[in-house]
Amino acid sequence: MKRAQVTSSKFIQLAEQMSSHIIKSRSENTNKKYFAAFNRWDLFISAEGGNSLPAESIHVALYVTHLIDKGHSSSVIEGAVYAIKWAHSLRGFRDPKDNCFVKNLLESAKRQCKKKVNKKDPVTSDQVKELCKKHVHTEDAILLRDLTLLILCFTGFLRYDEARSLKCNDVSIYDDYISLNIAKSKTDQYRQGNSVVISAGVTEACPVKMVKKYINVARISNLDSNHFFFKPAYRSKGVSALIRKDKPLSYTTARERVISLLKEVCGDANLGLHSLRAGGATMVANTSTKDRLWKIHGRWKTDKAKDGYVVDTLDNKLEVTKSLML
């Protein structure tokens, strides 16, 4: 018996809403990444006279071969295949990734197209304290912004995107600690939010004192506002200030400014913004602090993820064989 086709106006409206909801099954950034990757696939297969959607599995396998021959990294190749899978799943088509040629080529790409890992050197507490001591008397808004960003990334184990997204009302200041509301995080896919608490210190690098001084000098008058906490700044006639427009500090500017500061105390180390998150995690990991606590503090999902940030001290490494009692 043939099933009747329903074309009511309500169903048409629901179909449009359904499409909107399905798209939101991935984050906005993921959708943009997949869309760009799918467009590259579409250009490639169209030039060869094939269809991008639905795609033939053998054509996808040939595309992967093309990417490998071009020297693309395994992550780029995986992203291309998952973008094709994503587009097919949105339309209810069969997944061309479920083909032995495609699966084996992906494994081949992982072996052949490994990108050399260039991990950044971790920053130490002594280096952070030395830097803050060096600039303890500064009243420069730009310098205080950079120092505050540096300290919060180090003590809060913040990724740059987490620090960049901080709004004024995400920062709560108490007598002996500060609390940061991390509204958006790489490991918080469902935007449930995370709260990071950072204790006050007793040196020039005290996070609470630094945040208070930054707020005062940069004239951040309303901590209840939804404005970005770290904004671009300007310097005019010897005076520095944050811009009035509500926009976040760019990654390029933050990286350039923070690395320039770190170079003052770290010399020729291989530095990046991730040196702060890795440095804070490394310092804590080499103490008696419980793993569970600093894993939560850094918002890592797995032990494997958090362990990748830690550089163990020589003494800790030697503990393994010392325990053999030889």
Write the CB contacts of 326 (distance below 8 Å, at least 6 apart in sequence).
none
Name the amino acid, one letter, at 281.
Answer: A
User: Which region holds residue 25: left if phi is over 0, alpha if psi is between -120 and 50, else beta?
Assistant: alpha
pLDDT (tens digit per residue) in 79-131: 999 999 999 988 889 998 889 999 999 999 888 866 666 778 899 999 999 99
230: left (phi over 0), alpha (psi -120 to 50) or beta: beta
Cis omega (within 30 of 0) for bond into 54: yes
* Spatial separation of the C-alpha atoms in residues 29 and 35, rounded to whole Å: 10
Interacting residues of 319 by C-beta distance below 8 A, sequence separation 6+ = none
Tell me: the pLDDT tens digits for 152-190?
A: 999 999 999 999 999 999 999 999 999 999 887 666 544
Q: How confident is the model at residue 1 (pLDDT cuts 50, 70, 90)?
A: very low
Say if residue 324 is exposed, middle or buried (CB neighbours under 10 Å; 0-12, 13-18, 19+): exposed
Higher pLDDT, 304 or 131: 131
What is the pLDDT, as a whole number, of residue 298? 81
Q: Could you tell me the domains of the chain? A: 9-112 (1.10.150.130), 125-313 (1.10.443.10)
Q: What is the C-alpha separation between 286 and 223, in angstroms, rounded?
A: 35
Residue type, 7: T
